[in-house]
Structure formats: structure tokens, C-alpha cells
A = this chain, B = another copy of it.
Amino acid sequence: MPSTLELLEEHRMFGGWQQRYRHPSTSLNCAMTFSIFLPGPKRESPPPVLFFLAGLTCTDENFSTKSGAQRLAAELGIVLVMPDTSPRGESVANDEGYDLGQGAGFYLNATQAPWSDHFRMYDYLNEELPALIAGNFNVSDRQAIMGHSMGGHGAIMLALRNPGRFTSASAFAPIVNPAEVPWGQKAFSAYLGEDRQTWCQYDSCWLMRNSTAKLPMLIDQGDSDQFLADQLHPERLTEIASEKGYPLTVRIQPGYDHSYFFIASFVEDHLRFHAQHLLA
């Protein structure tokens, strides 16, 4: 089939290539942009893929420009895929708040008007984008996933809902219990409606409590994060993991905040963690 990918940018980086593509998305019913880092040839076998899901207000570019992850991806021989955080465009519904609408897709399939026409990030990330990557790049079928804040929610939630799909999951400052915190409650009410039963399928605490499969999981959380007390609550997931014997490591990093300076400081540990499982 002819590729639907349009190359927007390409930069040599750490002996590999940092690229940015646009493509028409059938799940989201609009044009979407993603970034990808392709390491230089390391081995004979195709490299595995590590997805990074970004947080509120972000695009595919924040992690691409600020994390420094490509250095490790080049060294380890891993493809990084950085999707956008929501559908975009003039015909796509939006909201004045930074935490709803464009830039705030919460990685779910919306069922409520006006959002349900486009906001199907769950399907986009679970089916469409992986198929697009597999069909257009030389990659293995091994995949892992990571994210930050709203994207940490997305990474853990997608991993918990799809046992066997990812070798490992990790997050920086994730929203682990969106059904019970202000950011999640605002978004889930708008996208999914007021029937809270429908929220559970996107709540990592509920999903882990009801999980049977297990995959290795790493979370880093700064204790000077301005959103820690109201929005994040990693201790709720730690408690469930402990009860269930789930292989989750949560590290509290003293003095660190919610920024990409925090992500950059610990991204090496996350890449090496995923490499252990992706390349095993």
C-alpha cells in the first residue's frame, strides 16, 4: 500500500534520525502528527519500539526536544515514538481550559458530544498508530510504553488493559487514579458522561486491582511536584501493587518537580529499565 505518511522534519541525532510525520487518522478523523527517533544500525535484528505519551498542553515535540532520551535510545538500539496528546484542528472540539479538549485527550475514547467525533486516542494508540509504525518502519514486534503526568496515566492504563502487548511500562509523575482526582473527574465527566462505571476502564488503580496478568512497571515521582497532593497520589497504586504482589517500583525523588528537568534527570533509568525487557 502507498504510505500515508508525510515527512515534515528530519534531523540527524546521536548517529540516528529524529523525524516528524503527519498522516490522516481514521480513529481520530483528522490529521495527526507524531515524532519518531530511529537509532543507527546496532544489530542485525530490527529494533523494538518504546512509546512516550506526553502530558497536558504538550505535543509530540516536548519529549523530542527536552528529554535527552535519544542518547540512550541510540546506545541501546530502541525506536522512540512520540504521539501528540489529542486530535487537533479547527473542526475539532475544544475548551478554554488547558485540561480539556485539544492537548488534553486523556488517551480514551470519548462517548459524549461534542467530543465523540474525534477524541478516540485509545483506539489511535492501541491499534492505528502501532500498525502505522509496523507498516512503515523496520521494527520488531516488541513494544514498551512510558509517559508523563496525563501520559503516565495513558501508559499505565494501556499496559494494564492489554496484557501481553507491552514488555514493560513506566511513568514520570503519572495520574494513577483519574476517577478520584480533579483533572480526571473533569475530563471523564466531559468525555465519558456521569456514569462512573464507565470511568473504571480508564483508571489505573481500578485496572490494577482487577488485573490478572502482570508486567514490570517503574514510576518516578518528585516530592516537590506541585501537583502531587491533589492530582497524582502514587501511594494509591503502590498500595494496590503491594496487596496484589504486582511488580511495581515507585521511587520518590527528593526535591524534584513536575517539569521536563525532572524527566531529563531520570530518563536514562527508564530507558535502561525498558531495554532489560525489550531486548531480553
Contact = CB atoms under 8 A, between A and B. Distances in A.
Interface string A253-266: 11111011110110
Interface stretch (A11-19, A26-34, A153-161, A191-199): A11-19
A50 B264 CA distance: 20
A13 B68 CA distance: 13
A1 to B, nearest CB: 29
Contact of A12 (B18, B65, B70, B261): B261
Interface string A216-260: 000000101000000000000000000000000000011111011
Tallying the copies of this chain within the complex gives 2
A14 B261 CA distance: 8
A165 interface: no
Given A65-B65, A65-B66, A66-B65, A11 B71 contact: no
A252 B23 CA distance: 34
Given A18-B261, A261-B18, A12 B68 contact: no
B11 A261 contact: yes
A257 to B, nearest CB: 6
Contact-residue size bin, chain A (C-beta under 8 Å from the other chain)? 20 to 34
Contacts of A262: 11-13
B12 A264 contact: no
Contacts of A70: 261, 264
A222 B12 contact: yes
A23 to B, nearest CB: 22
The interface centre, meaning the residue of A13, A15, A253 with most chain B CB atoms within 10 A of its CB, is A13
Nearest to A259: B11
A257 B68 contact: no
Contact of A65 (B224, B256, B257, B260): B260
A13 B14 CA distance: 22
A68 B71 contact: yes
Nearest to A257: B11
Contacts of A11: 256-257, 259, 261-262
Contacts of A255: 12
Interface in A158-184: none
Nearest to A254: B12
A12 B71 contact: no
Interface string A1-45: 000000000011111001000000000000000000000000000
A9 to B, nearest CB: 9
B12 A224 contact: yes
Nearest to A256: B12
11 contacts: A11-B256, A11-B257, A12-B254, A12-B257, A12-B265, A15-B265, A66-B66, A68-B68, A68-B71, A68-B264, A70-B264
